[in-house]
Amino acid sequence: MLNLLISVSLLVSPLRLEVSSHPGVVTRELSVKNGDAYNEVIVMVYSKDWDLNEGGNIQYHDAGTLDGSCSKWITINPAEFILGPGETKDVRITFDIPLESAGGYWSVILFEGNPPEQEEWTPLVKLAGRVGISTYLEVAGTTFKEAEIEGMKLGKDGGLNLEVENKCNTWLRPSIKYWLMRGSEEIYRDSVAGSVILPGGLREYKLELADIKIQKGDEIVARVDYDGEKILEGIKKID
* pTM score, whole prediction: 0.83
Q: Give the CATH number, domain containing residue 231.
A: 2.60.40.10
Q: How far is CA 105 from the centre of its chain?
A: 13
3-state secondary structure of 173: coil
Same domain, 57 and 84: yes
CA distance 109 to 51: 14
How many of the other CB atoms lie within 10 Å of CB of 51?
15
Range of the domain at 164: 147-237
DSSP 8-state secondary structure symbol assigned to residue 71: G
Same domain, 81 and 156: no
**What percent of the chain is modeled with pLDDT above 90?**
74
Cβ-contact 50, 129 below 8 angstroms: no
Same domain, 78 and 132: yes
CA distance 195 to 138: 18
* Host H or E run for residue 92: strand 88-97
Residue type, 239: D
164 has pLDDT over 70: yes
Same domain, 122 and 70: yes
- List, for residues 177-231, the tens digit of each pLDDT value: 999 999 999 999 999 987 899 999 899 999 999 888 889 999 999 999 999 999 9
